[in-house]
Amino acid sequence: MSVNLSKGQGISLEKSDGGSLTAVRMGLGWRSAPRRGLFGRRTSEIDLDASAVLFAEKKPIDVVFFQHLTSDDGAVRHTGDNLVGGAGKGGDDEAILVDLARVPVHIDQIVFTVNSFTGQTFAEVQDAFCRLVDETTGEELARYTLTGGGDYTAQVMSKVHRVGGGWQMTAIGEPSVGRTFQDLVPAILPHL
Amino acid sequence: MTAELVRGQNHPLDRTRVEIRVAADGPVVAGVTLGDAQGRLSGVEAVAHPGAPRRTGIEVPRQAAAEHRIAVDLDALPEAVHRVSVLLALPSGTGALTTFGAAAAPAVAVTGLDGTALARYTLTGLDAESAVVAVELYRRQGAWKVRAVGQGYAGGLPAMLHDQGLPQAAELAAEIEQAVGLGQARAVPAPAPVAAGRSERPVTGPPAPPAGDRPSTAPRTASDDPAASAHGTGAAHGTGPTAEPTAAADPAAESGAASPAPVAAGPVDYRHPRRRGTPAPPGPAPSPAATPSAPATVPAAADGPAQPVAGDAAGWSMDERLYNQVWGMFEDLARSVAAYRSAAGFAASRLEQELDEALADPRNRLGTAADAARATARDRHATLVTRARAALDRDLGQLVAESQVVEPALPPAFARWDNPVWHGYQPPQERPMALRLGDLHLPEVLDLRIPMLVRLPLERGLWIDSGPGSAVHGGPDPEREVARRELGSALTDGPPDEAELRRLAMETAVAIAARLLAVHPPGDFAVQVIDPAGTAAPALAPLVESGALPALPVPGAQGVASVLEGLTRRVDLVQMAVRHRAADSLPPDLDTAEQLLIVHDFPHGFDDRALTRLRYLADEGPAVGVHLLMVADRARTREYGPVLDPLWRSLLRITPVPDAHLADPWVGHAWTYEPPLAPEGSQVVRQVLGQLVAARRTP
């Protein structure tokens, strides 16, 4: 059962069998801008970026985004920057894979964010969503539909954090404004 | 496009035949009330509930379940009906849940008959409520809209129905409860193992594939298990245990009803019936509610790391697979150590900060409070470092095990000189893809040596630094000295003097040259040496005695000039031939084998002209098969000023003694390099060269 969430809603999730997560993927998908006529490449492209920020006791330690695709410890991997979007059919255009077993012991929270690098607000982007998938089963843990999300260019999506010996996900869904994850740090901090 | 509704938000419906799908974390009762324009119910017949599931235009499920489909035909509703409210209630007596706040928020979707979602709404923020109006469909100026309501009632169904103006609210609520109880009695009892926990994921899947089927180590396959992704997001709204499928439901609902749906057991298993095959995920055992038999069916093997297998990386040939595997091990080790260093560094900075705080707090100045605070801080530091070390040791255990199977499997080009593969050496038929230039390791992990493999042909020449290492860095480097002491290798007993370093440097050069000769087919690779002072003769003995090097290099400036002249001519001719695609018009006396030029004791014996030629060879040579191996003291070449800096930078620096100066491409650790020298007293290099030369004579 995936949980559909809208802006500003938060919900705490625990896997319903009581177990904890071992590998999650954050997926981000959107539909590319329509191409028109001659020199169609000049159509204003839409570039959304997914990022993951690793925190240890509320201090940012590492970040995985389009310029740093793998965290130094190798536990968090970005599959690569997509600058234009996809078909809008629900497939992930950018993905961040987290191998929770390999996350360094001092990292206790990983926050996932989405930014519109080219500046379009979520109201202008078609079929945009971000979601969190449990990689061991392929099941969707949470999904946000970004499209129609109003006059925002960024969203602090969710975080996975240590609980006892395992990991848990909490959806945040805090809309914000910013070009890259750096602009979002003030928006992230209250959620840690 | 699906609208995600928030509480109070409405959304127009573009069709009148819709389904309302409910997904909850446990069994819930779904019902529908049909209200007039004021939202009031005309009587009990205005409520569709499990005891009376069919009303005109409406059909609701007969029993409690975690997922529901409610079919609604808005056109068929009586004219008087203006408001269709979908209500959810927790069944009493199942012992599962008594309030919505105790479980994950239920979600409601309004979909078309084909399953396309028109609007979705998640009922968050519920607490002590046991009944809730989830959404309502209402008429507005001739069209229908949906509104997210989310109005909960702690008083349960009676309170909710009373609120909608139904006088017989309590009686109807009791009737509904009774009907739900009947529905549960009708349901198939759950088989014991399946009832283990309200699992979205099967706890009792078939055993995970044996480790051999997934040929990689755990760190690298954790996220690309095809079985997991194949089961992706399909059937997110599984039909679930709806015993009485609605008129609009597809046939799968029927099978859902027939499948062992453990409604009666309270905790509901709402897996999709076709999704049974998903292997149980590795990880902690199922929920505490699991019956004792359930954990036993979880394959324990899936939890542990896969048994390492040599050559299990991707690649077209075994050599390529091993090459990729070694680089994978290199990266994994670099990253595991990075994780450890990051954690240890964080622990250290936190300790420092906490000690500072303890000191800064005036209350702590007297008494034992400061001591206690310091002890706590130190404990926290030690705990974190211990955990980090445990994580590192876990990774290292896996990598060491992998190394133990990979090293013996390596072909000669990748193997150390002490590898038995060299004793069965046969001159190869094909050029290798890469060469082991030495070993790399990190101070945290002294017993794990990663082969340093470089692709062939060498794109970058090599510079074996025969000077004392500290001169390069402009001063003694304490860390490197420590690393040197830790090594305990025979090479590091005491600081080697300069003459010893020069000897070792030339021996390293010869070891690399011999290795290059040995791994190429006979006649495909040749070595030339520039040694103006003639001091390299002892080190060159293996090459000369076996005949791999035809003669000792000509001493003096004349030798320098003639070798450079010959190689420059070769580079020029081959370049021309390549440019004009005239490879067959090369003069017959030209040696087309790849050439390795060893320059010993550079820049001794070099004049400006020779220097220019050397730089030309370093720039142009690699593309046409002329490679450079310098043996020189970097400090002494500084006398030539900046003119040699580009040359120095274009070459890969390696050292004749273990030295931490190579950075990995991922996180930039300083790796300690060890040259590929044969074990003391070993004849393996001579034997291999002898076989090679014999093969060269008898083509």
> What CATH number does domain B1-284 carry, 3.40.50.300, 2.60.60.30, 1.10.10.60, 3.90.800.10?
2.60.60.30
User: What value, to the nearest 5°, has the Cα angle with vertex A53 and ends B346 and A178?
Assistant: 135
My answer on whether omega of the bond before B603 falls inside 30° of 0, hence cis, is: yes
Which of B204, B342, B182 has its CA nearest to residue B260? Answer: B204
Distances (CA, A) of A149 to A121, A127, A145, B117, B331: 8, 11, 8, 18, 40
The owner of tokens 């390299």 is B536
The owner of tokens 């293996």 is B542
For B449, the 3-state DSSP assignment is strand
- What is the C-alpha to C-alpha distance for residues B285 and B287, in angstroms, rounded to an integer? 7
Is A79 at the interface with chain B, CB within 8 A? no
Nearest to B233 among A3, A72, A138 (CB): A138
For B192, the 3-state DSSP assignment is coil
Residue A17: what pLDDT? 55
- CATH class of domain segment(s) B420-697: alpha beta
At B661, the amino acid letter reads H
At A86, the amino acid letter reads G
Q: Which two structure tokens, joined as six digits, stand for B352?
A: 């420092």
- What is the C-alpha to C-alpha distance for residues B326 and B451, in angstroms, rounded to an integer? 7
Tell me the residue ranges of DSSP E strands in B36-166: 47-48, 54-55, 58-59, 65-73, 83-89, 107-111, 117-122, 131-140, 143-153
Q: Which residues pair with B529 in a beta bridge?
A: B598
Q: Which of A75-89, A98-112, A151-165 has the highest mean pLDDT?
A: A98-112
Strands A94-99 and A76-78: antiparallel
A62/B120 Cβ within 8 A: no
- Shortest distance between the Cα of A37 and any Cα of chain B, in A, equals 26
Query: How many Å from the N-terminal Cα to the C-terminal Cα in chain B?
Result: 73
Residues 24-43 of B with CB under 8 A from A: 25
Interface residue of A1, A7, A127 to substitute, partner B, most B CBs within 10 Å: A1
Inform me whether the pLDDT recorded for A24 exceeds 70: yes
Evaluate whether ipTM surpasses 0.95. no
Which residues in chain A are closer than 8 Å to B384, comparing Cβ atoms? 105-106
Q: Which two structure tokens, joined as six digits, stand for B290?
A: 């699991």
- Shortest distance between the Cα of B218 and any Cα of chain A, in A, equals 10
- Shortest distance between the Cα of A60 and any Cα of chain B, in A, equals 11
Is A102 at the interface with chain B, CB within 8 A? yes
Nearest to B286 among A1, A19, A57 (CB): A19
Which residues in chain A are closer than 8 Å to B201, comparing Cβ atoms? 15, 17, 136-137, 139
A104/B281 Cβ within 8 A: no
- What is the C-alpha to C-alpha distance for residues B678 and B665, in angstroms, rounded to an integer? 28
Enumerate residue ranges in chain B where pLDDT < 70: 1, 93-97, 183-306, 364-367, 469-496, 699
Q: Which two structure tokens, joined as six digits, stand for B581?
A: 């695609």
Is B104 at the interface with chain A, CB within 8 A? yes
Residue B549: what pLDDT? 87
Q: Which two structure tokens, joined as six digits, stand for B493?
A: 């007993």
Kindly tell me the sign of the dihedral angle through the C-alpha atoms of B588, B593, B594, B598: negative
- What is the C-alpha to C-alpha distance for residues A71 and A60, in angstroms, rounded to an integer? 12
What is the DSSP code (8-state) at residue B644? Answer: G
By the 10 Å C-beta count (0-12 exposed, 13-18 middle, 19+ buried), B192 is classed as middle
Q: Which residue has the higher pLDDT, A60 or B178?
A: A60
Contact B13, B146 (CB under 8 A): yes
Residue B73: what pLDDT? 85
Of all residues in chain A, the percent with pLDDT exceeding 70 is: 84
Is B330 at the interface with chain A, CB within 8 A? no
- What is the C-alpha to C-alpha distance for residues B89 and B48, in angstroms, rounded to an integer? 13
Question: Using only C-alpha atoms, what is the Rg of chain A?
Answer: 16
Instruction: Locate the chain A residue with the closest alpha carbon to B275.
Output: A137
Interface residue of B239, B340, B342 to substitute, partner A, most A CBs within 10 Å: B342
- What is the C-alpha to C-alpha distance for residues B258 and B243, in angstroms, rounded to an integer? 8
Contact B358, B374 (CB under 8 A): yes
- Shortest distance between the Cα of B374 and any Cα of chain A, in A, equals 19
Instruction: Locate the chain B residue with the closest alpha carbon to A23.
Output: B223
- What is the C-alpha to C-alpha distance for residues B9 and B154, in angstroms, rounded to an integer? 23
- Shortest distance between the Cα of B340 and any Cα of chain A, in A, equals 7
Residue B372: what pLDDT? 84
The owner of tokens 């400006």 is B608
- What is the C-alpha to C-alpha distance for residues B263 and B241, in angstroms, rounded to an integer? 7
Is A137 at the interface with chain B, CB within 8 A? yes
B171-221 pLDDT per residue, tens:
888 888 777 777 665 544 433 333 333 333 333 333 333 333 333 333 333
Is A157 at the interface with chain B, CB within 8 A? no
A74/B287 Cβ within 8 A: no
My answer on whether omega of the bond before B478 falls inside 30° of 0, hence cis, is: no
Nearest to A105 among B124, B197, B343 (CB): B343
- What is the C-alpha to C-alpha distance for residues B657 and B579, in angstroms, rounded to an integer? 42
Q: Which two structure tokens, joined as six digits, stand for B316?
A: 């077209």
B384-426 pLDDT per residue, tens:
999 999 999 999 999 999 999 999 999 999 999 988 888 888 8
- What is the C-alpha to C-alpha distance for residues B377 and B82, in angstroms, rounded to an integer? 66
Q: Where are the domains of chain B?
A: 1-284, 318-409, 420-697
- Shortest distance between the Cα of A1 and any Cα of chain B, in A, equals 6
Measured N-to-C along each axis, helices B498-519 and B684-697 cross at an angle, to the nearest 10 degrees, of 40
DSSP letter string over B279-299? PPPSSS---TT--THHHHHS-
- Shortest distance between the Cα of B401 and any Cα of chain A, in A, equals 18
In order of their start, the domains of chain A are 3-32+45-191 (2.60.60.30)
For B65, the 3-state DSSP assignment is strand
By the 10 Å C-beta count (0-12 exposed, 13-18 middle, 19+ buried), B612 is classed as middle
Tell me the residue ranges of DSSP E strands in B345-444: 434-442
- What is the C-alpha to C-alpha distance for residues B76 and B356, in angstroms, rounded to an integer? 75
Within chain A, how many helices (H) and strands (E) appear? 1, 12
Q: How many Cβ atoms sit within 10 Å of the Cβ of residue B474?
A: 8
Distances (CA, A) of B297 to A168, B199, B212, B286: 25, 15, 20, 10
- What is the C-alpha to C-alpha distance for residues B352 and B358, in angstroms, rounded to an integer? 10
- What is the C-alpha to C-alpha distance for residues B419 and B515, in angstroms, rounded to an integer? 13
What is the DSSP code (8-state) at residue B14? Answer: S
Contact B324, B441 (CB under 8 A): no
Q: Which two structure tokens, joined as six digits, stand for B47?
A: 């409520």
